[in-house]
């Protein structure tokens, strides 16, 4: 049973007292004085009539608490438009009209394909009216009424277009504040337009409450808006989350007998998971919707671009799942490292760097799946059939090439290959001077775009061909710095610092060089190659210089977040910087990786898993990213998933010792102690200098009743500390295993004082569960979590 709203004719559930569309009263209630809606008659226009001497009424489109909307012909310019006739009692309020004028001046500056254009506000025949773009089609509310639950691909397509419109409006500082299905139009081709941007609340504040303090529609209203607190772009994200919920389930998450009960549910009640109401909803979409609906703004997607990125990843997954095998990877590409054919074989840095630069350019193209550097480079030097390579990477096209340098002359050959059939799609050779390197990059990029049949808008093309470096020599120095940084060794980090410093001497305004230095110093601290104080203070100094030059540089925000995460232990601030970096570059896997770690450290495990999945989707064969996923599952107590993840890494890169470490930790929690011992021993065989598996091996010995072996390891560590730095965290592991709580807590206190990066996980780390009830441990965690 439903109750039809007497004001706007919206069908409401029969247990509600206020309209979910316009908030008008549906029946008498003791609370009616809180939400009383004026019932004064409104002006009515008839088909064929002329309004304001200019507009010929074609048909009535809708009516609501603020007025009626008509399709009309503007006879002066001979175009159809939408004309919103504002109710006379609202028009009579001078403050409302002035507010509406001000809002409209700002909102009509938004020009975007997914936003309905606002034209003007005028007064005619005694009433105010708004003119706006007319969209042929139906509103989303009507579509949901007709179909109930929408198909998942349709849901994602609509939500993506809404996100694109929100992104542009938010960029201009405008928040909708009343996003709901009735304000979203869909034309016959599936194109989406957001209606009433920036003006809905100016209109409705007069009619929704006697105080005029609450705007928006209760069923779609974020908690902070219901409290009359400040709203921002994350408030629109919440409302879109409600819309996603309704599209996938056919229902909004919260209803009630009156406005107050709905508002209270938004503030305090956890919604049923959409998947419970519609089992056909994929788990990833289920989690995405719930993240949009987080009560605290800080836990939602932080901007429309971030949500758009997540929806795009989902859409690509659906596309792959639904296509036949030979069609699964349309519009997807992997760029392999170029082969060095130079006589001196000294151009490896340039070959890798050129491929990486092309990858970075291709990630700017919407609708193109680009495999990240680590996965694409994992086949370097291996003789693999191109079709097999395409299957492993999940792409339809592969770009490969070669470089030959002789003096200042450069020959670059490139070829685009169909990874499904194995034939060449395009190839070309570029014989140029070294100073033409940026032109060659642009030529290759545009040729690939053409062969993939991708159409670019002018601003997209400008972004695609944007080079942060203009000097070819500085570019080569930068590539050398990144090359050695990517080696992830102590020697490599120091070499990269040397090259970045050379680059700064040549160009002191290079934000990339300062960001590279920050990355190198962060890495030296992260891997305990330098004391934390020295490493992170140097990193902070360099990243501040980078951001002073270019505050939109994603790499710099990631470096800053790494300092806040692993040294300052300010997890919430690190999260903000990482979300900002993702906003600038949604395909940056390091940002998703670090964000997953930050969320895990705070105990927000579901969100952490979502983030690391996004990184895996971009870089599916990366040992670092896949091991990070195993670590995230381990902290979430998903031990079987952590073990499975480690086993997959062993297939990709059997010599990556960290995966054996994490597998051993998970096996230890499952009480498979002998298997854990084997895994830690395997890690030490591969990398004997790493003390982490040494410490964990000692704990595994304790749990398997081989305490003497553990004591020997502790003694070895004490002896080793005389010749090299031994982080007290590893001694804490052994003391914890031996039941020596005081010694363990003392080592953890020293670890805190030494700012050891891995201390951020202490609250969620299963290995230290036996210390959780200790007051000293609680005090350490409290200090650490407060930053």
pLDDT in tens, 492-513: 999 999 999 999 988 888 898 9
Residue 715 in domain = no
Bridge-partner residues for 118, per DSSP?
Answer: 132
pLDDT of residue 35: 34
The residue with tokens 């011992």 is: 677
One domain, residues 345 and 446: yes
Q: Determine contact, residues 616/631, Cβ cutoff 8 Å.
A: no
Nearest 5°: the CA angle 616, 620, 622 is: 95
The distance from CA 106 to its chain's CA centroid, rounded to whole angstroms, is: 28
Which among 586, 594, 595 is positioned nearest to 617, based on CA atoms?
Answer: 586
One domain, residues 335 and 271: no
User: Distance (Å, rounded) from C-alpha 102 to C-alpha 120?
Assistant: 11
pLDDT of residue 256: 83
Which among 589, 642, 635 is positioned nearest to 614, based on CA atoms?
Answer: 589
pLDDT of residue 459: 64
Share of the chain above pLDDT 90, in %: 35
One domain, residues 259 and 344: no
Q: Determine contact, residues 290/242, Cβ cutoff 8 Å.
A: no
Q: Could you say which of 424, 452, 467 is where a domain stops?
A: 467
Residue 34 in domain = no
One domain, residues 266 and 340: no
One domain, residues 235 and 289: yes
One domain, residues 343 and 274: no
pLDDT of residue 450: 81
Residue 590 in domain = no
User: Distance (Å, rounded) from C-alpha 9 to C-alpha 25?
Assistant: 12
pLDDT of residue 704: 92
Q: Could you say which of 467, 488, 503 is where a domain stops?
A: 467
Q: Determine contact, residues 75/53, Cβ cutoff 8 Å.
A: no
One domain, residues 279 and 190: yes
Q: Determine contact, residues 85/97, Cβ cutoff 8 Å.
A: no
pLDDT of residue 420: 80
One domain, residues 398 and 446: yes
Residue 71 in domain = no
Length of the chain: 787
Q: Determine contact, residues 135/185, Cβ cutoff 8 Å.
A: yes
How many other C-beta atoms can be found within 10 angstroms of the C-beta atom of residue 382? 7
Measure Cα distances from 29 to 16, 36, 265 in Å.
11, 10, 19
Low-confidence ranges of the chain (pLDDT < 50): 28-42, 202-213, 320-329
The domain spanning residue 432 has which CATH number? 3.40.50.10610
One domain, residues 215 and 151: yes
3-state secondary structure of 730: helix
Residue 314 in domain = no
Taking the complete model, does pTM exceed 0.85, yes or no?
Answer: no
pLDDT of residue 527: 79
The domain spanning residue 170 has which CATH number? 1.10.510.10
One domain, residues 353 and 412: yes
Residue 269 in domain = yes
Domain total of the chain: 2
One domain, residues 283 and 357: no
pLDDT tens by residue, 236-289? 999 999 999 999 999 999 988 777 888 889 998 999 999 989 988 999 899 999
Q: Could you say which of 429, 447, 467 is where a domain stops?
A: 467
For 422, the domain range is: 327-467
Residue 749 in domain = no
Q: Quick one: angle between helices 623-635 and 639-652, nearest 10?
A: 170
One domain, residues 386 and 425: yes
Residue 564 in domain = no
């Amino acid at each position: 049973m439903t109750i039809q709203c007497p004001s706007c004719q919206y069908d409401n559930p029969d247990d509600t007292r206020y309209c979910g569309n316009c908030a008008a009263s549906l029946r008498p209630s003791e609370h009616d004085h809180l939400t009383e809606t004026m019932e004064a008659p409104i002006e009515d226009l008839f088909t064929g009539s002329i309004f304001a001497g200019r507009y010929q009424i074609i048909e009535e489109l809708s009516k609501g608490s603020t007025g009626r909307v008509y399709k009309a012909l503007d006879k002066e310019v001979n175009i159809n438009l939408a004309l919103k006739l504002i109710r006379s009692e609202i028009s009579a309020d001078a403050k409302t009209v002035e507010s509406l004028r001000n809002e409209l001046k700002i909102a009509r500056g938004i020009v975007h394909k997914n936003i309905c254009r606002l034209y003007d506000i005028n007064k005619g025949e005694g009433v105010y009216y708004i003119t706006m773009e007319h969209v042929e089609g139906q509103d989303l509310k009507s579509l949901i009424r007709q179909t109930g639950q929408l198909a998942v691909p349709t849901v994602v397509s609509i939500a993506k277009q809404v996100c694109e419109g929100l992104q542009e409006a938010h960029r201009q500082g405008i928040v909708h504040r009343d996003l709901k299905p009735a304000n979203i139009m869909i034309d016959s081709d599936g194109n989406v337009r957001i209606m009433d941007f920036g003006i809905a609340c100016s209109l409705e504040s007069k009619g929704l409450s006697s105080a005029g303090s609450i705007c928006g529609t209760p069923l779609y209203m974020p908690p902070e808006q219901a409290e009359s607190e400040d709203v921002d772009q994350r408030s629109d994200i919440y409302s879109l989350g409600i819309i996603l919920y309704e599209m996938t389930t056919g229902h909004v998450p919260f209803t009630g007998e009156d406005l107050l009960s709905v508002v209270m549910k938004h503030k305090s009640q956890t919604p049923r998971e959409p998947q419970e109401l519609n089992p056909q909803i994929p788990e990833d979409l289920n989690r995405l919707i719930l993240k949009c609906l987080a009560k605290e703004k800080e836990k939602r997607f932080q901007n429309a671009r971030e949500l758009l990125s997540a929806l795009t990843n989902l859409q690509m997954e659906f596309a792959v799942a639904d296509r036949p095998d030979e069609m699964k990877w349309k519009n997807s590409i992997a760029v392999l490292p170029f082969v060095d054919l130079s006589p001196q074989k000294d151009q490896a840095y340039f070959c890798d760097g050129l491929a990486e630069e092309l990858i970075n350019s291709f990630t700017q193209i919407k609708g193109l799946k680009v495999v990240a550097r680590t996965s694409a480079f994992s086949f370097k030097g291996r003789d693999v059939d191109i079709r097999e390579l395409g299957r492993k990477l999940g792409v339809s096209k592969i770009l490969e090439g070669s470089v030959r340098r002789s003096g200042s002359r450069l020959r670059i050959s490139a070829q685009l290959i169909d990874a499904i059939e194995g034939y060449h799609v395009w190839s070309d050779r570029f014989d140029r001077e070294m100073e033409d390197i940026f032109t060659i990059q642009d030529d290759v990029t545009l040729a690939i775009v053409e062969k993939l049949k991708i159409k670019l808008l002018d601003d997209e093309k400008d972004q695609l061909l944007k080079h942060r470096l203009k000097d070819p020599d500085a570019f080569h120095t930068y590539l050398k710095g990144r090359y050695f940084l990517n080696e992830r060794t102590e020697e490599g980090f120091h070499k990269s610092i040397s090259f970045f410093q050379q680059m700064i001497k040549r160009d002191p305004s290079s934000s990339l060089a300062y960001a590279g230095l920050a990355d190198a110093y962060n890495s030296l601290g992260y891997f305990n190659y330098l004391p934390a104080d020295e490493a992170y203070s140097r990193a902070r100094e360099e990243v501040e210089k980078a951001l002073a030059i270019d505050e939109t540089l994603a790499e710099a925000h990631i470096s800053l977040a790494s300092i806040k995460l692993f040294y300052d232990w300010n997890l919430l601030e690190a999260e903000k910087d990482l979300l900002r970096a993702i906003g600038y570059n949604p395909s940056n896997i390091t940002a998703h990786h670090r964000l997953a770690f930050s969320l895990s450290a705070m105990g927000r495990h579901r969100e952490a898993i979502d983030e690391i999945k996004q990184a895996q989707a971009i870089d599916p064969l990366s040992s670092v990213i896949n091991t990070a996923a195993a670590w995230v599952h381990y902290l979430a107590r998903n031990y079987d998933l952590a073990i499975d993840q480690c086993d997959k890494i062993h297939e990709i890169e059997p010599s990556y010792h960290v995966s054996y470490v994490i597998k051993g930790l998970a096996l230890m929690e499952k009480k498979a102690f002998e298997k854990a011992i084997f895994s830690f021993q395997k890690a030490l065989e591969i990398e004997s200098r790493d003390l982490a598996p040494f410490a964990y091996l000692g704990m595994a010995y304790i749990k398997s009743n081989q305490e003497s072996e553990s004591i020997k390891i502790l003694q070895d560590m004490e002896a080793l500390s005389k010749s090299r730095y031994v982080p007290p965290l590893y001694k804490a592991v052994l003391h914890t295993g031996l039941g020596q709580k005081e010694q363990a807590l003392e080592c953890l206190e020293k670890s805190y004082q030494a700012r050891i990066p891995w201390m951020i996980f202490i609250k969620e780390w299963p290995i230290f569960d036996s210390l959780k009830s200790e007051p000293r441990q609680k005090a350490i965690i409290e200090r650490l979590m407060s930053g």
